[in-house]
Amino acid sequence: MSETTLKATAAASGASATERFLTDKAAAPGQGADSKRVDTLVTELITAVHDIIRRHQVTYEEYNALKSWLISIGEDGEWPLFLDVWIEHVVEEVVTATRKGSKGTIEGPYYVPGAPTLAAAGTLPMRDDEAGTLLLFRGQVTGVTGEPLAGALLEMWQADDDGLYAQFAPGIPEWNLRGSIVTDGEGRFAVTTIQPAPYQIPTDGSCGRLIAAAGWHAWRPAHLHFKISAPGHEPLTTQLYFMGGAHIEDDVADAVKPELILDPRPNGSGNEVTYDFVLDPAS
Ligand code: DHB
Ligand code: FE
């Protein structure tokens, strides 16, 4: 991929992710919040920052560096990227701690509702010359007692062979590698797609500057995203990774779990793998 493509992409993804979040999820700040809860959480957050400042004898130079960085992350539209990479995985851990069904993991900033519907055996929308190894991904959606969930909705989205997401990077058809699959009478699905490439957080924005300043890396391992829902069940948001793939052991977003690693096998035209999803009953 050329340097110019990367640059254009980085600028676009943050802004699109912010717009997407504001459209789908944002509540008015503080609206409906329990003030006791706000008091507890914000007081403890601020106190934790005070403790760090004392413990590390933070200087005015460092305080001002933090101030400019916080200003720039908003200007770059990179709050969704920052929060979903460094914070979301702990929220996900806490919220799903008592689940008995399949493991979930972070949603990330690139989910878009309303992807085109495919049959239970279908192919994700892709370009005629879509690059990457073909992958046949199949399995079954059940409840925790093993009952098949016919008509469950499996929403799937992923990066392409350049690690880029449609609707967030420029120049990719709107619903490329995004689809809504409805399971058959036995809760089964079989989706043809391509194996995504590892994803790199845009390096030319505020998150990239933080990563460079701290000497970290910007990579997530290649992954497929899913949201699975069925009436009477808790929706499951998860991702699946590829065994032995780059950065499987050092995901910048810390969102890999051993239960979420696929081991696809060659099937002649590409690879195939089976994975079953188990949904908890609605609480
Ligand atoms: C980010 C991107 C992803 O594709 C993902 O799955 C999680 C986080 C991000 O850039 O914040
Ligand atoms: Fe992702």
Any ligand 1 atom below 6 A from CB of 108: yes
Closest residue by Cα to atom 6, ligand 1, is 108
| Residue linked to tokens 């700040």 | 29
Return the ligand number nearest the Cα of 109. Answer: 1
Q: Lowest-confidence range among 18-27, 152-161, 232-241?
A: 18-27
CA–CA gap between residue 182 and residue 4 (Å, rounded):
39
CA–CA gap between residue 196 and residue 159 (Å, rounded):
5
Q: Could you read off the pLDDT of 75-84 as tens digits, one per residue?
A: 999 999 999 9
Closest residue by Cα to atom 7, ligand 1, is 108
The SS3 assignment for 36 reads: helix
Any ligand 1 atom below 6 A from CB of 88: no
Can you give the pLDDT at residue 29? 65
Closest residue by Cα to atom 11, ligand 1, is 81
Closest residue by Cα to atom 5, ligand 1, is 108
Any ligand 1 atom below 6 A from CB of 253: yes
Burial of 213 (0-12, 13-18, 19+ CB in 10 A): exposed
Instruction: Say how many Å lie between the CA of residue 253 and the centre of ligand 2.
Output: 10
Q: What percent of the chain has pLDDT over 70?
A: 95
Q: CATH number of 3-279: 3.30.465.10, 2.60.130.10, 3.90.1150.10, 3.40.50.1000? A: 2.60.130.10
Q: What is the pTM of this model?
A: 0.94
Please, what is the average pLDDT of the chain? 94
Can you give the pLDDT at residue 14? 82
Mean pLDDT along residues 221-235:
98
Can you give the pLDDT at residue 28? 63
Can you give the pLDDT at residue 136? 98
Site to probe by mutation for ligand 1, drawn from 81, 83, 172, 223 as the one with most ligand atoms within 8 Å of Cβ, is 81
Contacts of residues 257-260 at CB distance under 8 Å and 24 or more positions apart, as own/partner, are 257/103, 257/105, 259/102, 259/103, 260/103, 260/105
Mean pLDDT along residues 172-190:
98
